[in-house]
Chains A and B, each alone.
Chain A
Amino acid sequence: MNREALAVSSTDVHRLKGRQNHKWKQIKSSGYLYLIFLLPLVYFFIFKYGPMFGILVAFKDYNVFKGVFNSEWVGFKHFEEFIFEPYFWKLVRNTLLLNIYTIIFYFPAPIILALLLNEIRFTGFKRAAQSISYLPHFLSTVVVAGMLVNFLATDGLINQIIASLGFHKIQFLMMPEWFRTIYISSDVWQKIGWGSIIYLAALSGVDPHLYEAAKMDGANRFKQALYVTLPGISSVITILFLLTLGDLMSIGFEKILLLYTGPTYETADVISTFVYRRGLLGADFSYGAAVGLFQSVISFVLIVCANYTARKLNATSLW
Chain B
Amino acid sequence: MNLGRIHAGKIFDAANMLFMVVLCTTILYPIYHMFIVSISDGHAVLRGEINLWPVSPSWDTYKAVLRDPEILNSYKNTLLYTTTGTLINVTLTAFCAYPLARKKFYGRSFFTVLVIFTMFFEGGIIPDYIVIDSLGLINTMWAIVLPPAIHVFYMIIMRTFFQEIPEDIYESAYIDGANDLRIFLRIIIPLSVPVIATITLFYLVWHWNSFFPSMMYLNEKSQYPMQLLMRNIVIAGNVASQESAAASMNSMVTGQNIKYAVIIVTIAPILVVYPFIQKYFVKGMMVGSLKG
Complex-state Cα separation, A318 to B150, whole angstroms = 20
Q: A275: shortest Cβ distance to chain B, in Å?
A: 6
Q: Find out whether the CB atom of A296 lies under 8 angstroms from the CB atom of B124.
A: yes
Which residues of B have CB within 8 Å of A121? 13
Q: Is the CB of A125 within 8 A of B20?
A: yes
Instruction: Kindly state whether residue A262 has any CB partner on chain B within 8 Å.
Output: no
Q: Which of A36, A136, A280 contacts B129 (CB 8 A)?
A: A280
Cβ of A81: which chain B residues have Cβ within 8 Å of it? Answer: none
Q: Which residue of A lies closest to B215 (CB)?
A: A257
Q: How far is the CA of A133 from the CA of B234 in the complex (A)?
A: 25
Contacts of A52 in B (CB 8 A): 121-123, 127
Which of the segments B65-73, B96-104, B244-252 contacts the partner chain?
B96-104
Say yes or no for A75: interface residue by CB 8 A criterion. no
Note all chain A residues with C-beta closer than 8 A to B187: none
Taking A155-B46, A220-B5 as contacts, is the C-beta distance between A51 and B106 under 8 angstroms? no
Contact A44 B118 (CB under 8 A): yes
Q: Does chain A have a CB within 8 A of B146?
A: yes
**Which residues on the B side are within 8 Å of A177 (C-beta)?**
none
B172 interface hit (Cβ, 8 Å): no
The CA-CA distance from A150 to B234 in the complex, in Å, is: 8
Does B184 belong to the interface (CB within 8 Å)? yes
**Interface pair A147/B282, CB less than 8 Å apart:** no
**Residues of chain B with a CB closer than 8 A to A316's CB:** none
User: Is B27 at the interface (CB under 8 A from chain A)?
Assistant: yes
Please, how many angstroms separate the alpha-carbon atoms of A221 and B8 in the complex? 10
Among B117-139, those with CB < 8 Å from A are 118, 120-131, 134-135
CB pair A201 B102 closer than 8 Å: no
B173 within 8 A of A: no
Stretch at the interface among B55-63, B79-87, B191-199, B256-264: B256-264
Residue A167 CB within 8 A of the other chain = no
A168 to chain B, nearest CB (A): 15
B181 within 8 A of A: yes
Q: Give, as a whole number of angstroms, the nearest-CB distance from A222 to chain B.
A: 8
Would A37 and B95 count as touching, CB distance under 8 A?
A: yes
Residues of A within 8 A of B5 (CB): 220
For residue B27, give the distance in angstroms from its CB to the closest CB of chain A: 6
Residues of chain B within 8 A (CB-CB) of A172 are: none
Q: Which residue of A lies closest to B91 (CB)?
A: A39
B102 and A140 contact, CB distance less than 8 A: no
- Which residue from chain B places its CB closest to the CB of A220 in the assembled complex? B5
- Known pairs A47-B131, A138-B270; A120 contacts B125 (CB<8 A): no
Q: Is A238 an interface residue (CB 8 A)?
A: no
In angstroms, Cα B290 to Cα A147, docked, is 34
Contacts of B104 in A (CB 8 A): 26, 29-30, 33
* Interchain nearest-CB distance for B127 vs A (Å): 3
Contact B235 A132 (CB under 8 A): no
Instruction: Say whether B76 faces chain A, with CB atoms less than 8 Å apart.
Output: no
Interface string of A171-206 (1 = CB under 8 A from B): 000000000000000000100111001100110010
Whether A1 sits at the interface, judged by CB under 8 Å, is no
Query: Which chain A residue shows the least CB distance to B183?
Result: A32
CA distance A53 to B234 in the complex (A): 38
User: Contact flags (1/0) for B174-204 with A, using CB distance below 8 Å?
Assistant: 0000011100100000000000000000000
Say yes or no: B126 contacts A275, CB within 8 Å: yes
In contact, A30 and B106 (Cβ under 8 angstroms): yes
Q: Given contacts A43-B149, A119-B13, is CB(A51)–CB(B122) below 8 Å?
A: yes
Q: How many Å lie between the Cα of A139 and that of B230 in the bound state?
A: 13
Query: Do B34 and A36 touch (CB < 8 A)?
Result: no
Q: Which residue of A lies closest to B285 (CB)?
A: A197
The verdict on A97 contacting chain B, using a C-beta distance below 8 Å, is no
Closest-by-CB residue of B relative to A23 is B106
Contact across chains for A296 and B212 when beta carbons are under 8 A apart: no
Assess whether B16 is in contact with A36, with CB atoms less than 8 Å apart. no
Tell me, rounded to whole Å, the shortest Cβ–Cβ distance linking A82 to chain B. Answer: 13
Task: Please judge, given known A-B contacts A139-B267, A289-B126, whether A296 and B95 are in contact too, CB under 8 Å.
Answer: no
Listed from nearest, the 3 A-B pairs whose CB atoms lie closest are: A51-B123, A292-B124, A54-B127
Identify the A interface with B (CB < 8 A). 23, 26-27, 29-37, 39-41, 43-44, 46-55, 57, 62, 67-68, 113, 116-117, 119-121, 125, 128-129, 131-136, 138-143, 145-147, 149-151, 155, 157, 160, 163, 189, 192-194, 197-198, 201-202, 205, 220-221, 236, 246, 254, 257-258, 272, 275-276, 279-280, 285, 288-289, 292-293, 295-296, 299-300, 303, 319
> What would be 16 A-B contacts, judged by CB atoms less than 8 Å apart?
A30-B180, A33-B180, A35-B181, A50-B127, A57-B127, A68-B134, A116-B19, A116-B20, A120-B20, A141-B211, A150-B234, A193-B27, A201-B289, A221-B12, A292-B123, A295-B124
Question: Other than the known A54-B123, A150-B256, A201-B290, what 16 A-B pairs have Cβ atoms closer than 8 Å?
Answer: A27-B106, A29-B106, A35-B181, A37-B100, A40-B115, A46-B135, A51-B128, A133-B23, A133-B27, A147-B263, A157-B30, A205-B290, A220-B8, A279-B126, A289-B126, A292-B125
